[in-house]
Amino acid sequence: MTSPSSDTGAGILRLHPDGTASRGSRILGIVVLVSVVVFLYVALVASAPDKSLDAQGQLVRIMYLHVPSAIACYTAFFVTAVASGMYLWKRTMGWDALAASSAEIGVLFVALTLLTGSIWGHTTWGTWWEWDPRLTSTALMFVLYLGYLALRRAVLDPTSRAKQSAILGIIAFVNVPIVHYSVDWWRSLHQTATVASLDPQIDGLRLFALMFGMVVAMLLYVWLMMHRFRLAFAEAALEAKGLDLALAERRAEARADGGTVPPSVKTEGAS
Amino acid sequence: MGVVLAEASAWTYVTASYAITIGLLGGYSAWVIQKGRKVGKQLPPEDRKWSS
Amino acid sequence: MADLAAESMLRDAAMVVGKDLRLEWRSRVTLSQILPFALLVLILFAFALDPDRRILEEATPGLFWLAVLFSMLLAIQRAYAVETTDGVIDALRLSDLDPAGIFLGKAAGIGLHLLVLEVVLFIGVTVLYGATPHGGLLVVVTMLLATAGLAAAGSLYGVLAAGLRVRDTLLPILMLPVVAPVLIAGTEAFSAAYANSSGDGWKWCGLLAAFSVLYLAIGIFAFEPLLEES
């Protein structure tokens, strides 16, 4: 812990010199790991299967994954919307990196929400999909944010990309409640027989498992954000440096050739 | 016997869910860490403001 | 002061719509390409669903709005394709036109094209699917409100995608989740109208109205920064 060049810690706190880790993220990472282990124990072993009237038996354990994933994804997209707003206000690239990272992690959690929801549904409904209102809205949200990520890939200029994604990041989040409301209303009209709800009525250790799952999901989200944000930041810095380097080289070439140095030309966006 | 079979298939689904979740999250985490190191290597240390 | 700003915005909007309509009149792209496409979609639905089992008639409300949505994508692409050729969009940016006015003008243009498409599609489903329309007022109001929402959202997302090389594949994936509520509401309202039980239908029109107002408001504010970047 007292090495001269860089204080990279010792033992479990030893950080990779090139990586995006820091003391804080390492400690958080250890906390996350421990929490995950505890969670798995509580979710899979300690808590008893659901033996209530509309019993789901062991299947309620899937809920301990599904609900926390949903919480995490909504949080992620909310953060994207706020960070997008902050970018439009402050115009610093850090906010853009935050928005983008959160969206990416959010999409991951949505995918998990859909997968666990579908698996749970298959056991109860007998099919891999029923047009359950929450799952349907979630599916739309998934595509919505895939679109956000697609837009980011399509725009080359960093400032332009940041501005356009920021606007989209806010509008996309505004759409979420609209979509939810419409789909809910729509399904409430067409619900045929009682479709077993994705909201388990549970208590005791099972409720604790669910709640703890949410806590673990949020901790994991934060840890992933720390690394993903730093990665995005580093990539942006690299991009800027690479651009500066290329321009400097070009000017050096021009001078060496004895010709005139061309004025700085902003790289064209995709068009 | 039927109950045991039902329980067995339920556990398959539970296991599948947990495996997929851990797999996706673990895989993504690994990717972010790896990519972070790769990019960090190309960046001079003063640009990495987080390693104390 | 605000009146003056609103007046110039509407005047600029009128100028943009006029330009787009004149362009359409001369090139007839919507008439000769998008309209046939819409009818083609109706025909393809018949191939996909069994025409003898009255599925088409029962599904008419939904199929109608699906055909509208698919045609809408083409209409939006077209509305901005005319701007992105030959640096016209730079001229638009540099002109003195109020960006909010440009947004409204573009939306109005898209909306008018959509209305024409919808009228033809309505005749189409009545003839091809044998659906007998009741509740005329509800049908008309639904069409107007839904179109307003689609046009506003389309104008906004259209400018976002306009400057990109991948606009043709990006626009659908951006737009369709956003207008899913319009599809739901439009279908439900039409179903109510066709079943002659208009009560619920008007509530869905309320949703359409709220959607339109929301996107018109968003567009008025968000169009300028998006236009700058396109």
Residue whose tokens read 């901790």:
A219
Residue A112's Cβ-count burial label (10 Å; 0-12, 13-18, 19+) is buried
Contacts 24+ apart (CB under 8 A), A46-52: A46/A205, A46/A209, A47/A204, A47/A205, A47/A206, A47/A208, A47/A209, A48/A205, A48/A206, A50/A200, A50/A202, A50/A206, A52/A201, A52/A202
Which 12-71 residues of chain A touch chain C by CB within 8 A? none
pLDDT in tens, C65-83: 999 999 999 999 999 888 8
C abuts A (3+ Cβ pairs < 8 Å): yes
Candidates A143, A153, A164, A165: best to mutate against C (most CBs of C within 10 A) is: A164
Tokens of C96: 């003195």
Q: How confident is the model at residue C104 (pLDDT cuts 50, 70, 90)?
A: very high
- Can you tell me whether residue A57 is helix, strand or coil? strand
Rounded to the nearest angstrom, the minimum Cα separation between B1 and chain A is 16
pLDDT in tens, C15-62: 889 988 998 888 888 888 999 999 999 999 988 987 776 888 889 999
Q: How confident is the model at residue C199 (pLDDT cuts 50, 70, 90)?
A: confident
Residue-number span of the structural domain to which C157 is assigned = 2-229
| Residue closest to C230 by CA, chosen among C38, C95, C88 | C88
Spatial distance between the Cα atoms of A232 and C13, rounded to a whole number of angstroms: 40
Query: How many domains are there within chain C?
Result: 1
CA C198 and chain centroid, separation: 24
* pLDDT at position C53: 67
Which 72-91 residues of chain A touch chain C by CB within 8 A? 88
Residue scoring higher pLDDT (C222 or A270): C222
Chain C residues with beta carbon closer than 8 angstroms to that of A131:
none
pTM of the shown model: 0.86
Tens-level pLDDT at each residue, chain B (52 residues) = 555 555 557 788 889 999 999 999 999 999 999 999 888 888 776 666 665 4
Chain C residues with beta carbon closer than 8 angstroms to that of A164:
160, 226, 229
Q: Does C90 touch chain A (CB under 8 A)?
A: no
* pLDDT at position A256: 80
A155 vs C164, C177, C211: nearest CB = C164
A160 vs C177, C222, C229: nearest CB = C229
Residues of chain A with pLDDT under 70: 1-9, 49-56, 190-201, 258-271
* pLDDT at position A271: 37
* pLDDT at position C108: 95
- Residue C166 and residue A154: Cβ atoms within 8 Å? yes
- Residue A113 in contact with residue A64, Cβ under 8 Å? no
Chain C residues with beta carbon closer than 8 angstroms to that of A151:
160, 164, 170, 174
A175 vs C84, C178, C226: nearest CB = C178
Q: Does B37 touch chain A (CB under 8 A)?
A: yes
Chain A residues with beta carbon closer than 8 angstroms to that of B12:
none
Residue whose tokens read 């556990």:
B11
- Residue A174 and residue C160: Cβ atoms within 8 Å? no
* pLDDT at position A134: 85
Residue C230 corresponds to which amino acid?
S
Spatial distance between the Cα atoms of C139 and C194, rounded to a whole number of angstroms: 9
List residues bridging with A50 in a β-sheet: A57
* pLDDT at position A109: 97
For residue A108, CA distances in Å to A137, A177, A224, A252, C41 come to 16, 20, 11, 45, 34
Q: Cα angle at A177 between C200 and A209, to 5 degrees?
A: 115
Spatial distance between the Cα atoms of A31 and A87, rounded to a whole number of angstroms: 31
What is the count of residue pairs from A and C with beta carbons less than 8 Å apart? 81
Q: Which residues of A167-204 are buried (b: 16+ CB within 10 A; e: fewer)?
A: bbbbbbbebbebbbbbbebbbeeeeeeeebebebebee
Chain A residues with beta carbon closer than 8 angstroms to that of C229:
155, 160, 163-164, 269
B36 vs A19, A40, A111: nearest CB = A19
Complex ipTM:
0.88
Query: Which parts of C49-205 are beta strand (E)?
Result: none
B neighbours by CB contacts (3+ pairs under 8 Å):
A
C225 vs A140, A163, A174: nearest CB = A163
* pLDDT at position A139: 93
- Residue A189 and residue C218: Cβ atoms within 8 Å? no
- Residue A69 and residue B10: Cβ atoms within 8 Å? no
C218 vs A171, A179, A189: nearest CB = A171
* pLDDT at position A197: 55
Enumerate residues 6+ apart whose C-beta is below 8 A from A144: A172, A175, A176, A179, C177, C178
